[in-house]
Amino acid sequence: MEEGKRQRQVAGVLQEELNDIFRRLGFNMMYGGMVSISSVKVTPDLLEARIYVSFFKVADEKAAMKKIDERSWEIKKELSDRVKHQLRRMPVLHFFLDDTLEHVFKMEEVFKQINADDAQRKADGNEKATEEQP
């Protein structure tokens, strides 16, 4: 089902405010890496928000997610203070790990390996061709 205009608007406002809150509360840099809100999805009734958190070079992602979950009440309070004039009800926040960046790095490694294998095969093919020529 396609996301409605109001859902996208609310998700955009929540994402922008949450990124600012994360910076202010010091969540943007944890465990030696960067943390950001990669996307926000809001249910059609606007009562629940799925917040996808992206980690870059964070040493312990599970501990970082636990820390975010433990302080979610503080995040929600700050967020509700900021958007109270834009929303009738504050959505319930659910935080999820966004592992898209991890998949991108894995795919890059696979492509590098494929290119290296192709280069090796071409080099082996050229060596055989020069050996066969009299």
Q: Is residue 68 helix, strand or coil?
A: helix
pTM of the full structure: 0.70
Alpha-carbon distance of 52 to 55, in angstroms, equals 10
Q: Give strand pairing partners of 35.
A: 55
For 29-64, how does the pLDDT look when each residue is reduced to its tens digit (9 = 90+)?
777 788 888 888 999 988 899 999 888 887 778 888
At the topology level of CATH, where does 5-98 sit?
Answer: GMP Synthetase; Chain A, domain 3 (3.30.300)
For 67-87, how does the pLDDT look when each residue is reduced to its tens digit (9 = 90+)?
888 888 888 998 888 888 888
Q: Give strand pairing partners of 34.
A: 29, 56
In the chain, domain spans: 5-98, 100-134
